[in-house]
Amino acid sequence: MSIVPGGYQVAAKAKRKKVWRVIGFVLGIILLIWLVIRFFPVAESKDLHKFASDRPLVIAHGGGNHLAPSNTLAAFTNAYELGVDVLEFDIHMTKDGHLVSIHDPTVDRTTDGTGRVNEMTLEEVQALDAAATFKDLNGEYSFRGKGVYIPTVDEIFSTINDPEMLYTIEIKDSNDPELYQTMSEKLWKLIQHYGLEENVIIAAFDQAIIDMVIEVSEGEALVSGGRDEITKFVVFHKLFLNGLYQQNVHALQIPTEDSDINLMDGKLIRGAQNRGMDVHYWTINDPETMKELIEIGADGIMTDRPDLLMELLD
């Protein structure tokens, strides 16, 4: 009777060895795949054309929101004269179909008027004082009552009129998805009209808008990833699986931290660059953080104080 238990133990032991061999084989395959993905990634490189730089690009947020009224020609011309690399601004569309530069869906915060941009005509929007609430670094309303208005994208391109000037333009979420198609088409036509296809990165919080821009431009537009795309890349990066990420965008414009996850990471920057993407950080106004981002190799820094960033880089 003692033979049966002994035979059972031998069989059980052999079965366990077989299971462990299978587990070891599977883990070995997984490790091999991980090593291949980790060290031999295959990526389609999509260079950022004129955005390539050997130092962080100075991206003037709203044209430099602390130096002049946000998203206005006063801000853009001031930033241009400072010598910034990139002008950043946001766009909405008026009731009569004009793309205008303004951050909010309403004019309430930055002008002396009220109302939603997409419910107002261009004439109504441009009749407002876009410097009504702006205070300069001395706390004074130095631009108020001096004819500062909300410009069209057409006016911005024609006023700056420099084929080397770079732009990042964000299509803002206006809670009206039907507008996105029209806005994407109009913006791309303006970019083509001025020959700025390689000078403009189009951004949006909603990845669906970015996908629409890609479709409208037949894949020719330079685009920054929406939140979903950025999240996907960061997840792959944190799991050391960059090689599984399929590049669909040209840049990632991100904060230094999101949901308690540190994004101010040199490895993340290099991982993105290896996948053909540049990393731009927003919105950085203190010199210490600017210094850190310069040191870890950020491709661009978006700031309300481009003057401070330029001093550091110089």
pLDDT in tens, 78-132: 999 999 999 999 999 999 999 999 999 999 999 999 999 999 999 999 999 999 9
**Domain tally, the chain:** 2
SS3 262: strand
Q: Specify the pLDDT at position 48.
A: 74
Q: How much is the average pLDDT of 36-51? A: 61
Same domain membership, residue 118 and residue 159: yes
Same domain membership, residue 32 and residue 97: no
Same domain membership, residue 78 and residue 13: no
pLDDT classification of 14: cutoffs 50, 70, 90: low
Average pLDDT, rounded, for the chain: 89
Q: How far apart are CA 120 and CA 92, in angstroms?
A: 11
Judged on CB neighbours under 10 Å (0-12, 13-18, 19+), 178 is: exposed
β-pair type (99-101, 86-93): antiparallel
Q: How much is the average pLDDT of 61-66? A: 97
Q: How much is the average pLDDT of 289-308? A: 97
pLDDT classification of 153: cutoffs 50, 70, 90: very high
The angle, 0 to 180 degrees and rounded to 10, between the axes of the packed helices 177-193 and 153-160 is 20
The residue annotated as part of the active site, out of 66, 92, 103, 250, is 103
Domain containing 8 equals 1-40
* Lookup: tokens for 114: 């009220």
Q: How much is the average pLDDT of 126-144? A: 97
Same domain membership, residue 169 and residue 58: yes
Q: Are 306 and 81 in contact (CB under 8 A)?
A: no
Q: Which of 8-22, 139-153, 189-203, 298-312 has the lowest mean pLDDT?
A: 8-22
Q: Which of 272, 176, 184 is nearest to 221 (CA)?
A: 184
Q: Specify the pLDDT at position 71.
A: 98
Same domain membership, residue 182 and residue 101: yes
Angle at CA 262, nearest 5°, toward 44 and 173? Answer: 70
Q: Kindly give the residue spans of alpha helices, DSSP state H, lying in 117-176.
A: 122-126, 153-160
Q: Specify the pLDDT at position 158.
A: 98
Tell me the Cα Rg of the chain: 25
Residue 106 is given by DSSP the state: B
How distant, in Å, are the alpha carbons of 55, 58, 151, 230, 266 from that of 100? 31, 23, 6, 27, 36
Q: Specify the pLDDT at position 80.
A: 98
- Those residues whose C-beta lies under 8 Å from the C-beta of residue 79, and which sit 6 or more positions away, are 60, 63, 64, 67, 68, 87, 306
Same domain membership, residue 176 and residue 285: yes
Q: Tell me whether residue 103 is one of the annotated catalytic residues.
A: yes
The residue annotated as part of the active site, out of 61, 66, 92, 98, is 61
Q: Specify the pLDDT at position 15.
A: 65
Same domain membership, residue 170 and residue 96: yes
Q: Specify the pLDDT at position 8.
A: 57
Same domain membership, residue 182 and residue 159: yes
Same domain membership, residue 143 and residue 53: yes
Same domain membership, residue 78 and residue 14: no
Same domain membership, residue 145 and residue 87: yes
Same domain membership, residue 66 and residue 179: yes
Q: Specify the pLDDT at position 46.
A: 56
The secondary structure element, H or E, covering residue 93 is strand 86-93
What CATH number does the domain containing 191 carry?
Answer: 3.20.20.190
Q: Specify the pLDDT at position 2.
A: 47
Q: How much is the average pLDDT of 228-241? A: 89
Q: How far apart are CA 92 and CA 97, in angstroms?
A: 10
